[in-house]
Structure 1
């Protein structure tokens, strides 16, 4: 399967790579991107030979979150982040998913990557949960997965502050992921995928089901709470001004 912005390719037996490559929109979550990701993971779910997935981006971009139009639609009340559920694609995938975040990961793009079973960051890239920079509370399961994967103190800082953090800085702060030079991220991910692909597929699926069951069980309630917070925070006039004036800066 190959689409204009999402490419799905079996790079070795049992190893499928999903590459986000929307160079025009720098891997923001356009409708084409979200539909492409959902179709890619639907194909993987129905592939009886796949043992592991590598999710990655292009050049120095991994995924950069919602579009300005999408955020304004949520502000106006005509859309919700749950309308296009891509944040839990990796979590709900049968087989292990490796997020090879070789490039910048912004907002929902960073959150989506953290729902993977393995996370690899690059020293040079920027990682941020910048929801509060625009004045609205986080969504896409961020309030759950960020503290879960990064630890409560650092996770709370990222969520409340909404600042930008280089991978090298997060490494110093003790994130529990490999943080490598950008040029080494994908090769590290492939080596890891090869190790996983040596195992029986059924055993990989069975163990992942067991390990992520608590996350899958808790996520719907968290998302429900995030939507309630959005009703309280997203529709402020100041939020619209911030989305218009600060987007992409």
Structure 2
């Protein structure tokens, strides 16, 4: 896990997970996915943590699916639900802060949006680029993107698959903070310290209450997204777009 996921206890109760799969630019490589799952399993099994900071390295937060992974799905070799990475932060019993200091692309951006707190950087790009490749969004994106960013902007991002700088999203009125890249982790740690002052039982209890509606809604959303994939994913045009544009 230490190779691609750096696990640090910054202060009592505060753990930071740094995704640093530099070889694959923090796409969902097997190593990164396995490392994230193991890290969150460890956090779930412990009673000593109160808050998680999830971040990336350099100019990358998470770049979503790999090219090989998309082509495999387009060839009918599995579904995105075969490995549940998208709701790791949602299912974590303690609050999770996504400190998106770098680019959040496709499923990588969506994964961050399932966190309890979200911080973006001015310089980085954020996109739900599923439709760029000719298939409809997955990973719960059709639900969490409009919910977190607002219906108008969320639908625009999902349909157009354009890229947006953090500063542009700030100007569009997103409801979470945007800072210069070098300041993102500083502000994430400030928030983490504020949370860590609270009793763990209170944090766990309140998070459970706040996210239960999302947890209950998500399985039906995933079912609907898989049904859309049956119509859109297994097309020759998708394979050609992934091969050309990725």
Residue correspondence of structure 1 range 48-59 to structure 2 within 5 A: 48-59=47-58
Provide the rounded CA distance (Å) in 1 between the counterparts of 2:63 and 2:2: 19
Provide the rounded CA distance (Å) in 1 between the counterparts of 2:233 and 2:85: 20
| Matched residue, 1:136 | 135
Instruction: Note the alpha carbon deviations across 1:125-168, whole angstroms, 9 max, x for none.
Output: 00000000000000000000000000000000000000000000
Provide the rounded CA distance (Å) in 1 between the counterparts of 2:41 and 2:225: 26
| Matched residue, 1:123 | 122
Provide the rounded CA distance (Å) in 1 between the counterparts of 2:4 and 2:205: 32
| Matched residue, 2:154 | 155
Provide the rounded CA distance (Å) in 1 between the counterparts of 2:54 and 2:158: 23
Taking structure 1 as the reference length, the TM-score comes to 0.98
Provide the rounded CA distance (Å) in 2 between the counterparts of 1:105 and 1:188: 18
Provide the rounded CA distance (Å) in 2 between the counterparts of 1:185 and 1:6: 19
Q: How far has the Cα of 1:113 moved from its partner?
A: 0.1
What's the secondary structure of 2:7's corresponding residue? strand
| Matched residue, 1:181 | 180
In the comparison of the two structures, how many residue pairs are matched? 246
What's the secondary structure of 1:105's corresponding residue? strand
Q: How far has the Cα of 1:183 moved from its partner?
A: 0.4
Q: How far has the Cα of 1:223 moved from its partner?
A: 0.4
Provide the rounded CA distance (Å) in 1 between the counterparts of 2:196 and 2:77: 43
Provide the rounded CA distance (Å) in 1 between the counterparts of 2:4 and 2:83: 16
Provide the rounded CA distance (Å) in 1 between the counterparts of 2:235 and 2:136: 12
Instruction: Note the alpha carbon deviations across 1:38-94, whole angstroms, 9 max, x for none.
Output: 000000001111000000000110000000000011101112111111100000000
| Matched residue, 2:191 | 192
Q: How far has the Cα of 1:9 moved from its partner?
A: 1.2
Q: How far has the Cα of 1:4 moved from its partner?
A: 1.1
- Aligned alpha-carbon RMSD (Å): 0.5
| Matched residue, 2:238 | 239
Provide the rounded CA distance (Å) in 2 between the counterparts of 1:125 and 1:240: 27
Q: How far has the Cα of 1:3 moved from its partner?
A: 2.0
Provide the rounded CA distance (Å) in 1 between the counterparts of 2:10 and 2:117: 18
1:203 to 2:206 alignment? no
Provide the rounded CA distance (Å) in 2 between the counterparts of 1:246 and 1:232: 21
Give 5+ residue unaligned stretches, structure 2. none
Greater than 6 Å deviation, 4+ residue runs: none
Provide the rounded CA distance (Å) in 1 between the counterparts of 2:112 and 2:19: 12
Q: How far has the Cα of 1:7 moved from its partner?
A: 1.4
| Matched residue, 1:99 | 98
Provide the rounded CA distance (Å) in 2 between the counterparts of 1:3 and 1:245: 33
Provide the rounded CA distance (Å) in 1 between the counterparts of 2:79 and 2:34: 16
